[in-house]
Amino acid sequence: MSKRLFLPVIMVCTGLSLMWHPDFARAAMQLQIRLAPNVILMGATYNGTRLLVSGAIPKDAEAFVRVTGMPEDVHLKKKGRALGILWMNLGSVGVHHAPSVYLLCPSKALEAFSKTNQEDWHRLGLGFEALQGSVELTPASEDKDTLFKEFVRLKQSKDLYAMYENTISYGSMDGAMRSFSATVWIPSAMPQGVYEVEVFAIRDGAIVATGTQEMKVAEVGLPAMLSSMAFDHGTLYGVVAVMIAILAGLLTGVVFKGGKGAH
């Protein structure tokens, strides 16, 4: 084979091998997704809301939705029994670079796949266990597995980490694609900020397409005013907080005093 013909053959073979590589396929297929709403306003009466994620994925794939918050450092008190008797603080532990929010919505088929094919599921890097490799835990002497599990439980108790089941439904097919929709519960404890909403299309244990949109959570009204006051006018915020506590105490006293008079 001549040198003039050899180089084009090599280039064609290389291009074909890249096209069949999973990472190439993943990068080439971008999904268009929609959020409703894409801006969530938290007022004085806000108690959580529902986020609708919709779009279309390849018809032979399953949908997985993930909502992720910005990385944060969390410092926690470690409790235990001193001398085997007293329950008290025994020090502090740190969890670094963990997402502030981690909400997951697998399709029903992916729920079953995660239980029957755990090794392949872990390789996808989408579940809670996938975070453990990227999260840094201190001090180094701590039991990493136990500390991480306790951290996840703490987040779950506030609904900031959650796995929502049976929230994805499929609609009509249009050629090689089929529509989907997912409902994600946005908890009241979710801090204001910008969050990443991702959709993964998964086929045969591999991610074949992805789509991403940003969702914004913002405080409005009284919560926004108090938050601004706390950060920008700390002294005034302290005075207002004390006045509110005093008024609440006086009101409680009046209510209970009235109750005693009825006996």
Question: How much is the pLDDT for 130?
Answer: 86
**pLDDT, one tens digit for every residue, the chain (263 residues):** 554 544 444 444 444 444 444 444 445 489 999 999 999 999 888 999 999 999 999 999 999 999 999 999 988 877 666 655 656 566 788 889 999 999 999 999 999 999 899 889 999 999 898 888 888 888 877 788 888 888 999 999 999 999 999 999 999 998 999 999 999 999 999 999 999 999 999 999 999 999 999 999 998 866 555 555 555 555 655 666 677 677 767 777 666 665 554 44
- Smallest Cα–Cα separation from 53: which of 211, 202, 206? 211
Token readout for 154 is 């703490």
Read off the tokens for 14.
């290389």
- Run of H or E including 163: strand 161-163
Using alpha carbons, list the distances in angstroms from residue 263 to 158, 237, 255, 257: 41, 40, 14, 11
Of residues 17, 204, 21, 18, the one with CA closest to residue 123: 204
> What's the order of all strands across the beta sheet hosting 39-42?
39-42, 206-219, 193-203, 62-68, 102-106, 161-163
Identify the helix (H) or strand (E) that includes residue 240.
Answer: helix 234-260
Phi, psi of 201 (to 5 degrees): -100, 120
Overall pTM surpassing 0.75 (yes/no): no
All structural domains of the chain with their residue ranges: 31-219, 220-255
For domain 31-219, the question of CATH label 2.60.40 is answered with yes
Phi, psi (deg, nearest 5) at residue 204: 55, 40
143 CB-near residues (< 8 Å, 6+ apart):
none
What's the pLDDT score for residue 138?
86
